[in-house]
Amino acid sequence: MAEIIQRITPFLWFGEDACEAAKFYVSIFKDSGIKKVVRYSAAGPGQAGSVMTVQFELEGMEFTALNGVTDIEFNQAVSLVINCESQDEIDYYWEKLTAEGEEQVCGWLKDKYGLSWQVVPKILVEYLSDSNPQRVKNVTEAMLKMVKINIEELKQAYKEE
């Protein structure tokens, strides 16, 4: 059977933490693992034998992490979204990814490597797509006051007329 190759793969540039970061992410998500480690040759630019790239998978999605020798910082222009079914899931991912990281607003955070994540309930998109503009307004206003998203508070805002 032929191996299915993901056509588009997020490529994450780390200074020298690619392997450590990949192991961190794999430890958080189910059905995840390190797939391949490629090392620099004598041609460089990294030290011969040191890790150049790490291919890893998080719940079926492939990523590549690069030890790019120089640091290029991540910013919020690109983030990874975790669509959660429950508050327990939100709480789990929030706790794991904010460890040594930084909480932001509206379900956004930066992990300890500076990568931005959005930890959001699936129901939020449903609420924000509602045909009732008052409900959308109520949910939006509630969300804008949150750091970590709270599903119960969103539900209460959605019910208000």
Same domain, 34 and 86: no
* CATH code where residue 62 lies: 3.30.720.100
Same domain, 26 and 57: yes
pLDDT recorded at residue 94? 98
Is 5 among the domain residues? no
Q: For residue 3, what pLDDT is reported?
A: 63
In a shared domain, residues 84 and 19: no
Q: Is a pLDDT exceeding 80 seen at residue 5?
A: no
- Range 15-20 contact pairs with CB under 8 angstroms and sequence separation of 24 or more: 15/67, 15/68, 15/69, 15/70, 15/71, 15/72, 16/67, 16/69, 17/67, 17/113, 18/51, 18/53, 18/54, 18/65, 18/66, 18/67, 19/51, 19/54, 19/65, 19/67
Name, in order, each residue with C-beta under 8 angstroms of 8's C-beta and a sequence gap of 6 or more. Answer: none
Locate tokens 């291919």: which residue? Answer: 55
Do residues 153 and 110 both lie within one domain? yes
Q: 58 and 111 share a domain?
A: no
Domain count, the chain: 2
Of 47, 67, 87, which closes a domain?
67
1 has pLDDT over 70? no
Expressed as residue numbers, the domain containing 28 is: 11-67
What integer pLDDT is reported at residue 24 of this predicted model? 98
The verdict on 61 and 116 lying in the same domain is no
pLDDT number for residue 69: 74
In a domain, 129, yes or no: yes
Model confidence band, residue 71 (pLDDT cutoffs 50, 70, 90): confident
In a domain, 74, yes or no: no
The answer to whether residues 62 and 83 belong to one domain is no
**Mean pLDDT confidence for 3-15:** 87
CB neighbours of 20 closer than 8 A, spacing ≥ 6? none
CATH code of residue 115? 3.10.180.10
Instruction: Tell me the pLDDT tens digit for each residue of 106-155.
Output: 999 999 999 999 999 999 999 999 999 999 999 999 999 999 999 999 99
State yes or no: pLDDT of 83 exceeds 90: yes
Percentage above 70 pLDDT, the chain = 98
| Mean pLDDT score across all residues of the chain | 95
How confident is the model at residue 111, as a pLDDT?
98
Residue 4: pLDDT band by 50, 70, 90 thresholds?
A: low
Structural domain contains residue 110 = yes
Residue 48 lies in a domain: yes
What's the pLDDT band for 160 if we cut at 50, 70, 90?
confident
Q: Is the pLDDT of residue 2 over 80?
A: no
